[in-house]
Chains A and B, each alone.
Chain A
Amino acid sequence: MVSILTFIVMIVVGAVVLGFIAVSAMFLIWWERKVAAHIQTRYGPMRVGWHGALQSVADVIKLLLKENITPEGVDKPVWWLAPFFAVVPSVMVFVCIPFGNLFGIDLIPRDLNIGILYIIALTSVCVLGIFMAGWGSNNKYSLLGGMRSAAQIVSYEVPLIISVVTAAMFAGTLSMQKIVEAQKGMWFVFQPNMALAFLIFVISATAEINRTPFDIPEAESELVAGFHTEYSGMKFAMFFLGEYTNLFIVSALAATLFLGGWQGPFLPPVLWFLIKTYGVITVLMWVRWTLPRVRVDQLMGFAWKVLTPIAFANLAVAGWVLLR
């Protein structure tokens, strides 16, 4: 009896999470286009719905109806599976994202005691999907994009994890929920070396999710569209979904680890969580529509020669602060 109930709850929670991911991605696509439009002094989508609010719905319908082209000479299994590898790990991450609580129920599918470790492990798997797409496409642009992506994510994973470890050290736990609770008195970001960790986290996260100025796997001016050049219709939409889900995830992590998560006065915790997350997202969008792209060697140099040493030094200082 209990197991059936658990099963039903799992299904419902799963459906809610998937629904949230889809709606969030659609909202983010619209939001990105609006932010871009205002930064670029133009209108952006205006026709479908209020200020183009239904534009994403129209886009989804269009993508569903589009022909699914498979180019000649692709490595079929790799080519077909790539979009799923790009999306599934991102969806799995939602297991331990703490959205706060509503009517006394904690809005987190499962608060794993190794939550942040689990998330980091899964987000690294996303690169596999991108690399598979690059390899399987039988296209030189795609291959370059895939290779770049692999190199980039391996490099930026190091400073990213070090900055996450700094937060985990301050909280004394790996559980996402407990990390949020540890920030009850003061958000981590207001402590000097945690502020630095936050900065390192945001920079490496931008690289991890392939956004400008680190969008070199896509690099539309050099590689046309990089790893997803050959994808069309729903398979392309899957990459897009993965991209915007990842954007949400890294911003949610930034909010959870450094900005006090769902905690805040007056408003319900869920709202606080969403405000912080979408705030970080908006900043990332602002950066995207402002900066040019770095070159691939500059990107690697920045990761290994600048970010990683700073992150390690910061970690050492954090350890000293805690042991003092």
Chain B
Amino acid sequence: MGPQHPSTHGVLYLEVRLSGETVVDLITHIGYLHRGMEKIAENRTYTQFIPYTDRLDYVASMTNNLGYVLAVEKLMKAEIPERAKYIRVIVAELQRIASHLVGITTFTQDLGAFATPLFYGFREREKILDLFDELCGNRLTYDYMRIGGVQFDLPKGAGGKIRGIVKYMGPKIDDLENLFSSNAIFVARTKGVGVLTKEKALNYSVTGPNLRASGVKWDLRKDEPYLCYDRFNFDIPTGSNGDSWDRYKVRIEEMRQSLRIIEQALDGLPEGDPTVKIGRVIKPAPGEVYMRTEAPRGELGFYIVSDGSAVPYRMKIRSPSFSNLAVLSELVKGAKVADVVCVLGSLDIVVGDTDR
């Protein structure tokens, strides 16, 4: 299957050995989208690399931005203004909702619900995109986070707009859930399909909603809080079977939790300037840093080595889709051809994130 195939979510090549309709073996071939991001980083200044991070996981550019600037800030031991922290949380959580909307609805598209849920999901996502458009002028590859804060403060009336999105999104998430959860075919296609056990998930270092669906309560926002996540009340939804159904359910619930976080962040949003002037060329002291954040697809980590110059000496990106995809061949052995696309869709990978 692939590299050009309707359901491989990008240019991904799956070598599938079949016996009739049953999958005997599956080998994943990646690298069709490889752009040498880590090498590019070593030839750019710290600031120049920010727009490249947008292109990693292009369904959740904001959280990629965030992960990178947090890593650089950690390297520089820089403190950022409170307002910037809150704005970043709001934006990251909105991005999580937008990303999960795409994840869930493309998953159902893979199950053959031909484009209808997809269009609903995209209609809802559009609200968030409109807001991001106002924030930074882009609609897919956002370039909003800055080392030391954010590019611009929230525009006038953005608070009301975000509250409007939260109010609008709640019932729409319920709608989306009703559309699938009560659908006998959807349930039959996902329950018990692609079961990922707790042990296997941990061994493959699967992270994010996929790990939580297997019953591991691990979320960096709670377990290793960054920004101001420790100030908010929210739950970490987990599944019990680790099947495709649980992965879908966890994502639905996560969107609701994100709405809760956004509301609290709006309530506590401090006044002030959301940026510190840091200058165009940054020269962090020699050293190394690993900063990880909870991106919509799991743990996104940036490992940066600085030699004291204006460009990173080395950079390694730990992207969630990579390890989430690695477990695919374990999950589909013995399943049917149709289950391959189902499991792949439920893992919610982005090939840009796999091939960096």
Please, how many angstroms separate the alpha-carbon atoms of A42 and B126 in the complex? 13
Residues of B within 8 A of A215 (CB): 112
Interface of B is mostly: helix
Stretch at the interface among B60-68, B114-122, B322-330: B114-122
Residues of A within 8 A of B108 (CB): 292
Is B109 among interface residues, defined by CB-CB distance under 8 A?
yes
Stretch at the interface among B47-55, B157-165, B184-192, B257-265: B184-192
Is A294 among interface residues, defined by CB-CB distance under 8 A?
yes
Residues of B within 8 A of A212 (CB): 112, 114
Question: How big is chain A's contact interface, by range?
Answer: 20 to 34
Is B285 among interface residues, defined by CB-CB distance under 8 A?
no
Q: Is the CB of A41 within 8 A of B6?
A: no
Given contacts A292-B189, A294-B185, contact A41 B338 (CB under 8 A): no
Please, how many angstroms separate the alpha-carbon atoms of A39 and B340 in the complex? 28
Q: Identify which of residues 316-340 in chain B touch chain A, using a CB-to-CB cut-off of 8 Å.
A: 336-340
Please, how many angstroms separate the alpha-carbon atoms of A213 and B166 in the complex? 34
What's the minimum C-beta distance from A147 to chain B, rounded to whole angstroms? 8
What's the minimum C-beta distance from B113 to chain A, rounded to whole angstroms? 4
Residues of A within 8 A of B337 (CB): 144, 222-223, 296
Q: Identify which of residues 271-324 in chain A touch chain B, using a CB-to-CB cut-off of 8 Å.
A: 288-298
Q: Is the CB of A213 within 8 A of B338?
A: no
Partner of A296, one of B111, B186, B338: B338
What's the minimum C-beta distance from A238 to chain B, rounded to whole angstroms? 22
Is A219 among interface residues, defined by CB-CB distance under 8 A?
yes
Across the two chains, which residue of chain B brings its CB closest to A291? B185
Q: Is the CB of B7 within 8 A of A222?
A: yes
Q: Is the CB of A221 within 8 A of B120?
A: no
Q: Is the CB of B341 within 8 A of A221?
A: yes
What's the minimum C-beta distance from B121 to chain A, rounded to whole angstroms? 11
Given contacts A41-B123, A292-B186, contact A222 B116 (CB under 8 A): no
Q: Is the CB of B188 within 8 A of A298?
A: yes
Chain B interfacial residues counted at CB < 8 A: 27
Q: Is the CB of A292 within 8 A of B341?
A: no
Number of A-B residue pairs at CB separation under 8 A: 81
Partner of A293, one of B21, B115, B185, B340: B185
Please, how many angstroms separate the alpha-carbon atoms of A40 and B105 in the complex? 13
Q: Is the CB of B111 within 8 A of A221?
A: yes
Is A216 among interface residues, defined by CB-CB distance under 8 A?
yes
Produce 1/0 per residue, A172-214, CB < 8 A to B.
0000000000000000000000000000000000000000110
Across the two chains, which residue of chain B brings its CB closest to A289? B116
Is B219 among interface residues, defined by CB-CB distance under 8 A?
no
Q: Is the CB of A221 within 8 A of B109?
A: yes
Is B203 among interface residues, defined by CB-CB distance under 8 A?
no
Across the two chains, which residue of chain A brings its CB closest to B339? A295
What's the minimum C-beta distance from B317 to chain A, rounded to whole angstroms? 30
Q: Is the CB of A292 within 8 A of B111?
A: yes
Residues of A within 8 A of B348 (CB): none
Q: Is the CB of B183 within 8 A of A221?
A: no
What's the minimum C-beta distance from B179 to chain A, rounded to whole angstroms? 9
Residues of A within 8 A of B29 (CB): none
Residues of A within 8 A of B115 (CB): 36, 40, 289
Is B110 among interface residues, defined by CB-CB distance under 8 A?
yes
Is B5 among interface residues, defined by CB-CB distance under 8 A?
yes
Is A58 among interface residues, defined by CB-CB distance under 8 A?
no
Given contacts A221-B6, A221-B111, A288-B114, contact A295 B338 (CB under 8 A): yes
Partner of B116, one of A219, A290, A295, A296: A290
Residues of B within 8 A of A75 (CB): none
What's the minimum C-beta distance from B48 to chain A, rounded to whole angstroms? 39
Across the two chains, which residue of chain A brings its CB closest to B21? A296
Residues of B within 8 A of A221 (CB): 6-7, 109-112, 341
Residues of A within 8 A of B185 (CB): 213, 291-294
What's the minimum C-beta distance from B189 to chain A, rounded to whole angstroms? 6
Residues of A within 8 A of B110 (CB): 221
Is A48 among interface residues, defined by CB-CB distance under 8 A?
no
Please, how many angstroms separate the alpha-carbon atoms of A290 and B336 in the complex? 23
Q: Is the CB of B338 within 8 A of A40?
A: no
Residues of B within 8 A of A289 (CB): 114-116
Q: Is the CB of A292 within 8 A of B112?
A: yes
Partner of A295, one of B6, B120, B189: B189
Residues of B within 8 A of A42 (CB): 119
Is A106 among interface residues, defined by CB-CB distance under 8 A?
no
Please, how many angstroms separate the alpha-carbon atoms of A293 and B188 in the complex? 10
What's the minimum C-beta distance from B172 to chain A, rounded to whole angstroms? 12
Given contacts A41-B120, A292-B108, A293-B111, contact A224 B6 (CB under 8 A): yes
Residues of A within 8 A of B336 (CB): 295-297
Please, how many angstroms separate the alpha-carbon atoms of A225 and B339 in the complex? 17
Residues of B within 8 A of A293 (CB): 111-113, 185, 189, 338
What's the minimum C-beta distance from B216 to chain A, rounded to whole angstroms? 28
Residues of B within 8 A of A296 (CB): 21, 336-338
Q: Is the CB of B183 within 8 A of A292?
A: yes
Interface residues of B (CB under 8 A from A): 5-7, 21, 108-116, 119-120, 123, 183, 185-186, 188-189, 336-341
What would 14 more interface pairs be, CB under 8 Å, given A221-B341, A292-B189, A293-B189?
Answer: A36-B116, A40-B120, A148-B21, A219-B338, A220-B6, A221-B6, A289-B116, A292-B108, A292-B112, A292-B113, A292-B183, A294-B189, A295-B189, A296-B337
**A-B CB contact pairs (8 Å), 27 listed:** A36-B115, A39-B116, A40-B115, A41-B119, A42-B119, A144-B337, A148-B21, A221-B112, A221-B341, A222-B337, A222-B338, A222-B340, A223-B337, A224-B5, A291-B183, A292-B111, A292-B112, A292-B183, A293-B113, A293-B189, A293-B338, A294-B185, A294-B189, A295-B188, A295-B339, A296-B336, A296-B337
| Nearest 4 Cβ contacts at the A-B interface | A293-B112, A292-B113, A292-B111, A40-B119
